[in-house]
Protein backbone atom coordinates (compact mmCIF):
# COMPACT_ATOMS: atom_id res chain seq x y z
CA UNK A 1 0.00 0.00 0.00
CA UNK A 2 1.40 3.38 -1.02
CA UNK A 3 1.98 5.92 1.72
CA UNK A 4 -0.60 8.66 1.97
CA UNK A 5 0.47 12.13 0.85
CA UNK A 6 -2.02 13.69 3.25
CA UNK A 7 -0.85 14.38 6.77
CA UNK A 8 -2.96 15.73 9.57
CA UNK A 9 -1.94 19.11 10.96
CA UNK A 10 -0.48 19.22 14.41
CA UNK A 11 -2.60 20.38 17.33
CA UNK A 12 -0.47 23.52 17.63
CA UNK A 13 -1.25 24.39 14.01
CA UNK A 14 -5.03 24.25 14.49
CA UNK A 15 -5.07 25.81 17.95
CA UNK A 16 -5.49 29.41 16.70
CA UNK A 17 -8.46 28.35 14.56
CA UNK A 18 -10.05 26.52 17.47
CA UNK A 19 -9.52 29.54 19.72
CA UNK A 20 -11.08 31.88 17.14
CA UNK A 21 -14.05 29.54 16.72
CA UNK A 22 -14.57 29.25 20.47
CA UNK A 23 -14.30 33.02 20.85
CA UNK A 24 -16.90 33.54 18.13
CA UNK A 25 -19.31 31.06 19.70
CA UNK A 26 -18.77 32.61 23.14
CA UNK A 27 -19.50 36.09 21.77
CA UNK A 28 -22.64 34.84 20.03
CA UNK A 29 -23.82 33.15 23.22
CA UNK A 30 -23.05 36.26 25.29
CA UNK A 31 -24.96 38.48 22.84
CA UNK A 32 -27.91 36.10 22.79
CA UNK A 33 -27.65 35.32 19.08
CA UNK A 34 -29.62 32.49 17.53
CA UNK A 35 -28.76 30.30 14.55
CA UNK A 36 -30.18 32.81 12.07
CA UNK A 37 -27.89 35.51 13.45
CA UNK A 38 -24.85 33.25 13.16
CA UNK A 39 -25.66 32.10 9.64
CA UNK A 40 -26.33 35.58 8.25
CA UNK A 41 -23.33 37.16 9.97
CA UNK A 42 -21.07 34.47 8.48
CA UNK A 43 -22.68 34.98 5.05
CA UNK A 44 -22.09 38.72 5.34
CA UNK A 45 -18.45 38.29 6.33
CA UNK A 46 -17.91 35.87 3.45
CA UNK A 47 -19.41 38.34 0.98
CA UNK A 48 -17.60 41.44 2.23
CA UNK A 49 -14.19 39.93 2.96
CA UNK A 50 -14.24 37.79 -0.17
CA UNK A 51 -15.15 40.71 -2.41
CA UNK A 52 -12.53 42.94 -0.76
CA UNK A 53 -9.96 40.19 -1.36
CA UNK A 54 -10.87 40.10 -5.05
CA UNK A 55 -10.58 43.88 -5.32
CA UNK A 56 -7.28 43.86 -3.41
CA UNK A 57 -5.73 41.32 -5.79
CA UNK A 58 -6.87 43.32 -8.82
CA UNK A 59 -5.57 46.52 -7.22
CA UNK A 60 -2.23 44.86 -6.48
CA UNK A 61 -2.02 43.82 -10.12
CA UNK A 62 -2.59 47.43 -11.18
CA UNK A 63 0.05 48.61 -8.70
CA UNK A 64 2.63 46.11 -9.93
CA UNK A 65 1.74 46.82 -13.55
CA UNK A 66 2.14 50.55 -13.05
CA UNK A 67 5.57 49.94 -11.52
CA UNK A 68 6.58 48.04 -14.63
CA UNK A 69 5.04 50.46 -17.14
CA UNK A 70 6.45 53.59 -15.54
CA UNK A 71 9.92 52.11 -15.12
CA UNK A 72 12.49 53.89 -17.30
CA UNK A 73 13.45 50.55 -18.85
CA UNK A 74 9.92 50.13 -20.28
CA UNK A 75 9.72 51.40 -23.86
CA UNK A 76 7.85 54.72 -23.87
CA UNK A 77 6.10 54.04 -27.18
CA UNK A 78 4.21 51.10 -25.58
CA UNK A 79 3.08 52.84 -22.38
CA UNK A 80 -0.30 53.98 -23.67
CA UNK A 81 -1.11 50.51 -25.01
CA UNK A 82 0.04 48.85 -21.79
CA UNK A 83 -1.97 51.24 -19.60
CA UNK A 84 -5.07 50.79 -21.76
CA UNK A 85 -4.68 47.01 -21.76
CA UNK A 86 -4.09 46.90 -18.00
CA UNK A 87 -7.13 49.07 -17.27
CA UNK A 88 -9.28 46.97 -19.62
CA UNK A 89 -8.10 43.76 -17.94
CA UNK A 90 -8.77 45.19 -14.48
CA UNK A 91 -12.29 46.34 -15.44
CA UNK A 92 -13.01 42.97 -17.03
CA UNK A 93 -11.86 41.14 -13.89
CA UNK A 94 -13.96 43.39 -11.63
CA UNK A 95 -17.04 42.81 -13.82
CA UNK A 96 -16.39 39.07 -14.14
CA UNK A 97 -15.86 38.45 -10.44
CA UNK A 98 -18.65 40.81 -9.44
CA UNK A 99 -21.15 38.79 -11.45
CA UNK A 100 -19.81 35.38 -10.42
CA UNK A 101 -18.87 35.98 -6.80
CA UNK A 102 -21.89 38.13 -6.00
CA UNK A 103 -24.12 35.79 -8.00
CA UNK A 104 -22.95 32.85 -5.89
CA UNK A 105 -23.72 34.78 -2.71
CA UNK A 106 -27.11 35.88 -4.05
CA UNK A 107 -28.06 32.27 -4.79
CA UNK A 108 -26.76 31.23 -1.38
CA UNK A 109 -28.84 34.02 0.21
CA UNK A 110 -31.94 32.61 -1.50
CA UNK A 111 -31.33 29.25 0.16
CA UNK A 112 -30.61 30.87 3.51
CA UNK A 113 -33.78 32.95 3.25
CA UNK A 114 -35.83 29.75 3.14
CA UNK A 115 -34.32 28.14 6.24
CA UNK A 116 -33.25 31.27 8.13
CA UNK A 117 -35.56 34.10 7.08
CA UNK A 118 -34.76 37.64 8.19
CA UNK A 119 -37.66 39.68 9.49
CA UNK A 120 -38.52 42.71 7.40
CA UNK A 121 -37.10 41.32 4.15
CA UNK A 122 -39.61 41.26 1.25
CA UNK A 123 -40.80 37.94 -0.14
CA UNK A 124 -38.23 38.00 -2.99
CA UNK A 125 -35.45 37.85 -0.43
CA UNK A 126 -31.90 39.09 -0.54
CA UNK A 127 -30.27 39.51 -3.95
CA UNK A 128 -33.37 39.32 -6.14
CA UNK A 129 -32.07 39.36 -9.69
CA UNK A 130 -28.87 37.55 -8.80
CA UNK A 131 -27.02 38.16 -12.09
CA UNK A 132 -26.78 41.87 -11.26
CA UNK A 133 -24.54 42.50 -8.23
CA UNK A 134 -25.96 45.99 -7.64
CA UNK A 135 -29.32 44.80 -6.20
CA UNK A 136 -27.44 42.32 -4.00
CA UNK A 137 -25.31 45.08 -2.46
CA UNK A 138 -28.38 47.32 -2.09
CA UNK A 139 -30.14 44.55 -0.15
CA UNK A 140 -27.02 43.89 1.90
CA UNK A 141 -26.72 47.54 2.95
CA UNK A 142 -30.47 47.82 3.56
CA UNK A 143 -31.28 44.55 5.38
CA UNK A 144 -28.15 42.67 6.48
CA UNK A 145 -25.50 45.28 7.27
CA UNK A 146 -27.58 47.18 9.85
CA UNK A 147 -28.11 43.93 11.81
CA UNK A 148 -24.75 42.22 11.52
CA UNK A 149 -22.31 44.80 10.23
CA UNK A 150 -20.43 47.51 12.02
CA UNK A 151 -22.86 50.22 12.96
pTM as predicted: 0.78
Please report the pLDDT score of residue 123 as a whole number: 75
Please report the pLDDT score of residue 57 as a whole number: 96
What are the residue ranges spanned by the domains of the chain?
34-148
CB neighbour class for 96 (10 Å; exposed up to 12, middle 13-18, buried from 19): exposed
Q: Which residues of the chain have pLDDT under 70?
A: 1-4, 127-131, 151
Amino acid sequence: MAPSRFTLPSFEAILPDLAAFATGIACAWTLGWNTTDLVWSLWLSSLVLGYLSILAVIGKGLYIGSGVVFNQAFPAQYRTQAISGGCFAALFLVAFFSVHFCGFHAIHAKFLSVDFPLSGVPKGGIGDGFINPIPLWQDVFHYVMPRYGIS
